[in-house]
Amino acid sequence: MKNEIISAALGVVVAIPICMYAGNHWYTTPQTLPKPEAETITWSAIPEAAPQDRFRGIQRSSLDEARDYLSEKKIAVPGEYRGYFATTAEQYGLTEELLEAVAFRESTFNPSAVNGNCLGLMQINPAWHQERIGGRDVMSPEVNIEVGADYLSELLEDHNLAKALMIYNGDEGKGVSGYAEDIIQIAKALEVIHEFEPSPVQ
């Protein structure tokens, strides 16, 4: 199967003209694909309170495909932040790869990124998250990642992943956007890579 995000994972069919191979048949989206019987990403670490259909249908990429995808996108998680992502993800019931994918999509891992009122790796708006920040330096990568993880974890208590990501990005009124799809695809590829490169202890 070609390394494209399966729209069924988001509970919607997105009209993207890509071909996929399942069993002995080729399919062209939009079309609901059969649920794979093996090697499915479960993402069981994500809060149980959130709907459980978020990743239905997503198949794990091969290691080479994951490396090619990340290389093409120029995605490389800075080593000095991986420990922060891993420990914070565990603290908030998320996955390291999901937080890293959000950080890449928000700031391309630039801790000094400023976009309007949004700051840092996870593009935190201090005016919205004063209580979470608690007087700390929001530009600190550790604090920035923690505030973003706390917010995303809270959103996942009431929304599926696609909706939570769109609200995080301020895109909630636009349906299932490329933003959510990109993050899921990046996170999936990172998970494959991280099976062979365990997170350092921070």
Structural domain tally of the chain?
A: 1
Taking each helix axis from N to C end, the angle separating 96-107 and 161-169, rounded to the nearest 10 degrees, works out to: 30
Q: Tens of pLDDT along the chain (202 residues)? A: 333 333 333 333 333 333 333 343 333 333 333 333 333 333 333 333 333 333 333 445 578 888 888 999 899 999 999 999 999 999 999 999 999 999 999 999 999 999 999 999 999 999 999 999 999 999 999 999 999 999 999 999 999 998 899 999 886 655 546 888 889 999 989 988 888 776 655 4
Residue-level pLDDT at 174? 59
Chain Cα centroid distance, residue 181: 8
Query: For residue 192, which amino acid is it?
Result: V
DSSP notation for 85-119: HHHHHHHTT--HHHHHHHHHHHHTT-TT-EETTEE
Q: Is residue 200 part of a domain?
A: no
Structural domain span for residue 15: 7-194
Q: Is residue 162 part of a domain?
A: yes
Q: What is the CATH number of the domain that holds 80?
A: 1.10.530.10
